[in-house]
Amino acid sequence: MGATVIYDFETSGLSPHIDDVIEIGAKCIDNQVSFQSLVIPLSKKGICSKITEITGITNELLKNNGRKTLEAFKLFFTYLKDIYDVYEDITLVAHNGLHFDDIFLRRMLRYLQGEGITDYDDMFSSIIFVDSLMVARYVHPTRRYHNMKDLCQLYNIQNNSAHRAMGDVDALCELWKYFINTLKQKHIDVCGNHLRYILYYE
Residue 29: the pLDDT is 97
* Terminal-to-terminal C-alpha distance of the chain: 22
* Closest listed residue to residue 135, CA positions, set 89, 87, 188: 188
Residue 178: the pLDDT is 97
The pLDDT tens digits for 99-122 are 999 999 999 999 999 999 999 999
Residue 156: the pLDDT is 97
Residue 19: the pLDDT is 95
SS (H, E, C) the chain: CCEEEEEEEEECCCCCCCCCEEEEEEEECCCCCEEEEEECCCCCCCCCHHHHHHHCCCHHHHHHHCECHHHHHHHHHHHHHHHHHHHCCEEEEECCHHHCHHHHHHHHHHHHHHCCCCCCHHHHHHCEEEEHHHHHHHHCCCCCCCCHHHHHHHCCCCCCCCCCHHHHHHHHHHHHHHHHHHHHHCCCCCCHHHHHHHHCCC
Low-confidence ranges of the chain (pLDDT < 50): 202
CATH of domain 3-199: 3.30.420.10
Per-domain residue ranges for the chain?
Answer: 3-199
